[in-house]
Chain A
């Protein structure tokens, strides 16, 4: 159970594949146009339920409840060994190997 007033994330399709604009490429036409937004939950609900939220600008949006207290997980990525090669190469060329 997610309580009224919690900060949540919702999802909804705003255009179904049949409603997509004529100019979009074939692969994009096969999928819906989806939307994600965040706000305060307006009534107690379960994850996966249809809910209403009030966003930070005070607008009402409706959609499927997908997350409570949503947070970001993007980071600095995995180790990229090529960057060490580049760093050493430019220092070697400019300053000579012994000073890198």
Chain B
């Protein structure tokens, strides 16, 4: 009988993970800071063509690209002469489970079935749960979703409760937990008990599943508009969305500016029971985006395949009130009701389009479904019920956890740039502190790739430590 207390279970983490993911990550390690990321993606993943075939066979992918002509016209009202790029969205809500996460789940579930696992488990409070449940339903596998859902008063985020409903509707068991990182403890116990596959968000096949999204954007754009988009905006949380999309675009030979966008929730502690229901976004925010970008290897697998700093040209934040405003504008001007994830990137794109020329194009690479609990109306009224002040003003004054400020005029919707060099330095510093080695030439080359910089930049940072 194995011990089930917290320390004992966490102590068996490596053993449980190896059994539940089926990847021996040590094959890709150098023994120092560097590991062979591309080899990991190549040897444990699938080719783009294989992934397309897997996804198309379960009705995933090939989602339409929509041009938002009215939002473009609105943005041009506030842009300098000749500015205001055409704004597009990739309507990923058309996937079976209502978001792009179906792409990640399709590959993970396919892989689990191929290896003979009887079921899949994923730890997620977001769209990925519904995606795994949907794909498991198609594949005839059992499915357990572990969610962080309630605070200590038993009050749940409406968006997460809706996700639980959707997972159950698709045949999954949903294990709901209160706030805290020890969710991982229950997750490990479940993996050990069931011997199911860990459909982690961060495995090579999960991330590679998103490559088809980037590739499709390029192919569809070339066919319809004769060129690749100039900029692609990805809502950024754990980094897989941006990583996969950017890799797919690169495989198509496209080189647009890759922009990450997160809702600004600075000042809120993600593991705080008291602050859990003070936020109006459950993902796509800086509470995940910042730590996972500046140190990806904090996930539920030894080496995360989501490594967004490798691909990001620019990283911006946007306020909660700005995303809500843009969600309403999308409904009112474009006749489209969509959920918060894609609308985070859309609010950013609305601002960034105004910096670009009119003959340029900018695409938001996802939409997600909306509905009870996920719609802006329950989210905003939930915020009001939790003591958050809601008013019109300048969103740059918004204080997460205290207020939500809707822009008093759409011209006030402005992204804030994150200092990417600061995040790059942070990644290099954490790498050195984690591995406690003097970086070799191979490590320096690796760190330059990790941060999309060069050896000179890495050496300069190392000197300053």
Contact indicator A27/B5 (Cβ below 8 Å): no
Which residue in chain A gives the minimum CB-CB distance to B4? Answer: A14
**Residue numbers in B under 8 Å from A90 (CB-CB):** 74, 328-329, 332-333, 410
Contact B70 A72 (CB under 8 A): no
B:184-201 near A, CB below 8 Å: 185-186, 193-194
- CB-defined interface of A56-81 with B at 8 Å, one 1/0 digit per residue? 11110000000000001011111110
Known contacts A30-B273, A72-B162, A85-B392, then 8 further A-B pairs from the complex at CB < 8 Å, ordered by chain A residue:
A15-B6, A27-B274, A33-B178, A57-B143, A78-B377, A82-B380, A82-B390, A91-B333
Say yes or no: B176 contacts A36, CB within 8 Å: yes
B271 adjacent to chain A (CB < 8 Å): yes
CA distance A39 to B168 in the complex (A): 12
Chain A residues 3 to 30 lying within 8 A of chain B, measured CB to CB, are 14-15, 19-21, 23-25, 27-28, 30
A23 to B184, CA, bound (A): 13
B406 interface residue, CB < 8 Å from A?
yes
Would you give the shortest CB distance from B6 to chain A, in whole angstroms? 6
B interface with A by C-beta (< 8 Å) = 5-6, 70, 73-74, 77, 119, 142-144, 149-150, 152, 156, 158, 161-162, 164-165, 168, 171-182, 185-186, 193-194, 269, 271-274, 325, 328-329, 331-333, 372-373, 375-382, 384, 390, 392, 406, 409-410
Interface bin, chain A: 35 or more
**CB of A55 within 8 A of chain B?**
yes
Q: How many A-B residue pairs have CB under 8 A?
A: 156
Judging by beta carbons under 8 Å apart, are A86 and B375 in contact? no
Contact of B379 among A25, A72, A77 (CB under 8 A): A77
Residues in chain A near residue B142, CB distance under 8 A? 57-58
Task: Contact check, A19 vs B150: say whether CB atoms are below 8 A apart.
Answer: no
Task: Determine the distance from Cα of A90 to Cα of B149 in the docked complex, in whole angstroms.
Answer: 35
